[in-house]
Amino acid sequence: MIWIAPSEKDTATNTLEKRLWDAADQLRANSGLKPQEYSGPILGLIFLRFAEVRFIAQRAKLETPSPRSPLPAGEGAGLRVPSLGEGAARPSRRGSRVDDPAAYHAEGILYLPAEARFDYLLNRPEVENIGAKVNAAMRDIEKHNPQLAGVLPKTYNLFTSTLLKELLKKVSEIPASMDYDAFGRIYEYFLGEFAMSEGQGGGEFYTPSSIVRLLTEVIEPYHGRILDPACGSGGMFVSSARFIAEHKAAPPSPPSPLPTGEGRREEGAKYTGDPARELSIHGIEKTDETGRLCRVNLAVHGLEGDIRHGGNVNSYYDDPHDATGRFDFALANPPFNVNAVDKERLKDSVGPGRRFPFGLPRTDNANYLWIQLFFSVLNEKGRAGFVMANSASDARSSEQELRRQLIESRAVDVMVAVGPNMFYTVTLPCTLWFLDRGKASAPQPPSPQPSPKGRGSVAAELFSPAERRARDEGKQDRGNTILFIDARHIYRQVDRSHREWTPAQIGFLANLVRLYRGEALDFTLGSEEARAKILEVFATQPSTRPGGHPSPSGRRAGDEGARAVAYKDVAGLCKAATLKEIEAQGWSLNPGRYVGVAAGVAVSDEDFKEQLETLNEELETLNAAARELEATIASNVTEILEA
């Protein structure tokens, strides 16, 4: 399927984050600082602006006088408070908590001492050493907010007071009235721009937001414990929190309670739709500086998490969260094709119920170590979504055997082929893997009922009983099938060397998966455009409303029949392949082997190259086997002749 969305390059030039970035980047160009010296401090100032906005809002609440409680009989006789009018509320006698850090922490808000507030620093004259003032402010914030200890940047001494003054002025242009999610978007925008400017190093801490968004839309992390063992700057956690915030209604199945001390929702309380209360965040990041960046990113979004970083922590050898079988969700973009992992250190972690349940690969490549880690950390109903090198889908030898075991565990749910240029630092295509430990035992879901207001599900609202029955017929035996999606030709061209998915394209792909699973459709992301594309591809009876707009149900006044919407295999887009079909393909998880090409669509140079590489790999395997057989025959003949 080919769906190339029009570029929105020009419409983005006037956004606040774009203007702020252009100004900050111009200042950097004139400063002589390297991007990696500049990124942390700039992000720190954005963080401080956001923290002050939340702090001031909470302080105003604490300063609001509380209503006077009635005094016991005989107390207060003859006392008046002239400053308050007759009948007005009087401040309670308990002490004010406006300067009590605990009063802020209880609401998930950072406490800021007077000299650590953004406006205080903004109003410092250039003659003062502003760099020293900002460094002191960051240390003071860490002192009063232990969760940020050792996290905030303190290299503002590298900046001249003039440069810092200009930067503070630019960041102050972010309106205090802006909602908290908008602050997060600005922070993420800067993360992405710094990733591009830092080249390969930037790819170590940032995954493009459209990739992350599809991962979260497919695994649907409404509630639970979530792990990213290669968490970078924390984009997977932020995207999961945004998913919850956008889906305020209760999840399809009742959430189980989090372990004691994790999350903020009280045991037994109703689902809140508040990410800070519904998610228990855990991460691992081997680079200390990137781990600090992650913790600041969480704080900007009003989140907290247990992020282990720096020191000697390494996800291959270390398990600081005692993760095996304990997580509801795993999300990650791990490093691809890493070699020189010391497998001797992993031997005690091999076997059923351990970190590497299927064994260790003989090849010097860590891809199947990561894949097994994502599988093993999930509980019996857990879901995982992660980015992986294309080569892992077809790898031979010992990796093929590991892949066979994984497939036969019936945990592989969906495979999505992604085209080139979706990442800032590499041009190669990749594959998104989705695991679901609960799919084999899950009962077939009934046709969805009308969703709660705000859920975004349109299954009952848009489809008639006949249409829902037709969709039910399209449900798959998920325990014995895997859904393959070819999304290589679905994208929007951002510039000559970068692509992304639009919200509508992400919504379309996510709802394709929901159709396959028999779940309620949800167009919270992508809205009408995603809905229209689902109807275009998976409906059997096209129809339009007067005016040319597609009807959600496919009917107009006076139309006969209904427009059925159900999952079906679509050449060039998707295929639900059985385990027997996958076995026949050498246990390959390469979507291109199953999806094929739509009729009338020419094979692109990219597709031809991939097919040729696959055929060449098969030929090399056969040639190697032939050489081994030839050597065996020659050896046997020699033994016979010498006997």
171, 206, 228 - which closes a domain: 171
**CA separation for the pair 434, 441 (Å, rounded):** 17
Spell out the residues 6+ positions from residue 574 whose beta carbon is closer than 8 angstroms to its own.
483, 484, 485, 486, 512, 516, 595
**CA separation for the pair 501, 489 (Å, rounded):** 10
- For residue 85, what pLDDT is reported? 39
- For residue 444, what pLDDT is reported? 54
Q: Collect contacts of 98-102 with beta carbons under 8 A, ≥24 apart.
A: 98/59, 98/62, 98/63, 101/144, 101/145
Quote the number of domains for the chain.
Answer: 3
Q: Which pLDDT band holds residue 461 (cuts at 50, 70, 90)?
A: very low
Low-confidence winner among 41-55, 76-90, 299-313, 379-393 (lowest mean pLDDT): 76-90
171, 188, 220 - which closes a domain: 171
In a domain, 72, yes or no: no
- For residue 474, what pLDDT is reported? 56
Q: Are residues 294 and 394 in the same domain?
A: yes
In a domain, 105, yes or no: yes
**CA separation for the pair 485, 475 (Å, rounded):** 16
CA distances from 414 to 353, 400, 500 (A): 23, 18, 20
Q: Are residues 480 and 519 in the same domain?
A: yes
* Assigned token pair, 182: 């908008």
- For residue 464, what pLDDT is reported? 52
- For residue 115, what pLDDT is reported? 95
Q: Are residues 372 and 245 in the same domain?
A: yes
Q: Are residues 211 and 160 in the same domain?
A: no
Average pLDDT value for the chain: 82
**CA separation for the pair 283, 228 (Å, rounded):** 5
SS3 397: helix
Bridge pairing between strands 490-495 and 412-418: unpaired
Q: Are residues 493 and 406 in the same domain?
A: no
Exposed / middle / buried, residue 234 (Cβ in 10 Å: 0-12, 13-18, 19+): buried
Beta carbons of 476 and 576 less than 8 angstroms apart: yes
In a domain, 634, yes or no: no
Q: Are residues 391 and 486 in the same domain?
A: no
Average of per-residue pLDDT across 492-503:
88
In a domain, 589, yes or no: yes
Q: Quick check: 91 pLDDT over 70?
A: no
In a domain, 466, yes or no: yes
**Ramachandran angles phi, psi of 485, nearest 5°:** -125, 130
CATH of the domain at 27: 1.20.1260.30
Exposed / middle / buried, residue 61 (Cβ in 10 Å: 0-12, 13-18, 19+): exposed
**CA separation for the pair 444, 456 (Å, rounded):** 22
In a domain, 320, yes or no: yes
Q: Are residues 137 and 232 in the same domain?
A: no
**CA separation for the pair 327, 543 (Å, rounded):** 45
4-59: per-residue pLDDT in tens?
988 764 444 447 778 888 888 877 777 778 777 888 888 899 899 989 999 999 99
- For residue 544, what pLDDT is reported? 45
In a domain, 131, yes or no: yes
Q: Quick check: 260 pLDDT over 70?
A: no
Q: Are residues 126 and 25 in the same domain?
A: yes
**Strands of 40-96, DSSP E:** none
Average of per-residue pLDDT across 175-202:
72
The DSSP 8-state label assigned to residue 291 in this structure reads: H
Q: Are residues 513 and 466 in the same domain?
A: yes
CATH of the domain at 249: 3.40.50.150
Q: Are residues 381 and 510 in the same domain?
A: no
- pTM, 2 dp: 0.79
Low-confidence winner among 60-64, 325-329, 457-461 (lowest mean pLDDT): 457-461
**CA separation for the pair 187, 453 (Å, rounded):** 31
Q: Are residues 108 and 148 in the same domain?
A: yes
Segments forming the whole domain that contains residue 480: 459-601
- For residue 124, what pLDDT is reported? 93
418-454: per-residue pLDDT in tens?
999 888 666 788 999 999 999 987 655 444 443 443 3
In a domain, 293, yes or no: yes
Spell out the residues 6+ positions from residue 565 whose beta carbon is closer than 8 angstroms to its own.
463, 467, 470, 471, 515, 534, 535, 538, 539, 554
Q: Are residues 488 and 583 in the same domain?
A: yes
* Cα 87–Cα 90–Cα 93 angle in degrees, nearest 5: 150
Q: Could you identify the residue written with the tokens 């972010």?
A: 174
535-551: per-residue pLDDT in tens?
999 997 644 444 433 33
- For residue 226, what pLDDT is reported? 98
Spell out the residues 6+ positions from residue 66 whose beta carbon is closer than 8 angstroms to its own.
89, 91, 92
Which H helix or E strand runs over 581?
helix 579-584
Cα–Cα nearest to 216, from 384, 49, 368: 384
- For residue 13, what pLDDT is reported? 41
Low-confidence winner among 261-270, 366-375, 508-517, 585-594 (lowest mean pLDDT): 261-270
